[in-house]
């Protein structure tokens, strides 16, 4: 531990700056400018260099980049689809869920769409929340509430809430897709202006 700390100091900015100033003190000694006090001059210059050197900057945490986050999200989405395949839903809710999962599949497919999505951290977060929380919770809550509804007929049908929840999610990700489309449209327009400006 002490050895690694010592080796770390040898490579530090403080030691490098101090050594450079100490070498300047040795130059002064050899030219006779330091006189008999040369050890004090060399030591003082080393200490001054070590003090004025910028502090060491700790390395940034190694967080996964957005592409890696999307890879993990795709794996979770695959598990979600396996779960949904085992759930029996009413036709209307099943149709809405299919539309939603088709949209999520298109957004998560590897390729240029995912590259654009990776530049939108809020979009990645929204997709992550939908895959890992919103959709499974909506479906699971429906399944549990439907069981209780059989014991207490005449209450508000749980499929109505499920359909509304899926509709809200569908609207959210339709808007996200439109936002990503607008990003590409602006990029295309910028390239057009660049080419027109270049040609004079």
Q: Answer whether residue 6 shows pLDDT above 60.
A: no
Confidence of residue 9 (pLDDT cuts 50, 70, 90): low
Do residues 124 and 70 make contact, with C-beta atoms less than 8 angstroms apart? Answer: yes
What is the pTM (predicted TM-score) of this model?
Answer: 0.64
Same domain for 113 and 89: yes
pLDDT in tens, 133-160: 999 999 999 988 887 776 666 667 788 9
Q: Is the dihedral of CA 186, 187, 188, 190 positive or negative?
A: positive
Q: Answer whether residue 16 shows pLDDT above 60.
A: yes
Do residues 99 and 168 make contact, with C-beta atoms less than 8 angstroms apart? Answer: no
Q: Which helix (H) or strand (E) holds 73?
A: helix 66-85
| Helix residue spans in 119-157 (DSSP H) | 121-129, 135-151
Whether residue 14 lies inside any domain: the answer is yes
pLDDT confidence of residue 56: 67
Which of 13, 30, 52 is where one domain is finished? Answer: 52
Taking the CA atoms of the chain, what radius of gyration do you get in angstroms?
Answer: 32
- Domain hosting 11: range is 2-52
Minimal CA–CA distance to 136: which of 101, 112, 108, 177? 101
Same domain for 192 and 110: yes
Percent of the chain topping pLDDT 90:
31
């Amino acid at each position: 531990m002490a050895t690694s700390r010592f080796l770390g100091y040898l490579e530090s900015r403080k030691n490098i700056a101090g050594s450079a100033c100490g070498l300047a003190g040795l130059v002064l000694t050899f030219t006779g400018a330091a006189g008999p006090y040369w050890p004090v001059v060399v030591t003082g210059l080393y200490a001054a260099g070590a003090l004025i050197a910028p502090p060491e900057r700790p390395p940034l945490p190694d967080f996964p980049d957005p592409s890696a986050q999307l890879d993990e999200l795709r794996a979770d989405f695959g598990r979600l689809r396996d779960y949904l395949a085992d759930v029996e839903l009413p036709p209307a809710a099943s149709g809405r869920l299919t539309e939603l999962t088709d949209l999520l599949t298109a957004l998560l497919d590897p390729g240029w769409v995912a590259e654009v999505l990776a530049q939108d951290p809020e979009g990645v977060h929204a997709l992550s929340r939908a895959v890992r929380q919103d959709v499974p919770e909506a479906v699971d809550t429906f399944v549990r509430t439907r069981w209780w509804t059989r014991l207490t007929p005449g209450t508000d049908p749980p499929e109505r809430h499920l359909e509304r929840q899926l509709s809200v999610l569908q609207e959210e990700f339709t808007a996200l897709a439109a936002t990503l489309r607008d990003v590409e449209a602006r990029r295309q327009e910028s390239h057009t202006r660049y080419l027109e400006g270049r040609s004079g």
